[in-house]
Amino acid sequence: MANYFLSDPHLAHSKLCRDCRPEYRNTREMDADIIDTCNRTALRGDLLYVVGDFAWRRFDYYAAQIRATMILVRGNHDPGWSKCRKHFQSVHDIIYGRKIDGQSVTICHYPLLFWPGKYMVCGHIHTGLPRKPRRLSCTWDRWHRPVTLAEMIARDR
Q: What is the mean pLDDT of residues 22-35?
A: 94
According to DSSP, the residues that pair with 94 across neighbouring strands are 108
Write the DSSP assignment of 9-32 as a string of letters.
--BT-HHHHHHH-TT-SSHHHHHH
Residue-wise pLDDT tens digits, 99-108: 999 999 999 9
Range of the domain at 147: 3-156
Q: What CATH number is associated with residue 110?
A: 3.60.21.10
Phi, psi of 92 (to 5 degrees): -140, 160
Is 157 a residue whose pLDDT tops 80?
Answer: no
| Total number of domains constituting the chain | 1
Is 141 a residue whose pLDDT tops 80?
Answer: yes
Is 84 a residue whose pLDDT tops 80?
Answer: no
Average pLDDT, the chain: 93
Phi, psi of 97 (to 5 degrees): 55, 40
Count of positions (residues) in the chain: 157
Q: What is the mean pLDDT of residues 54-77?
A: 93
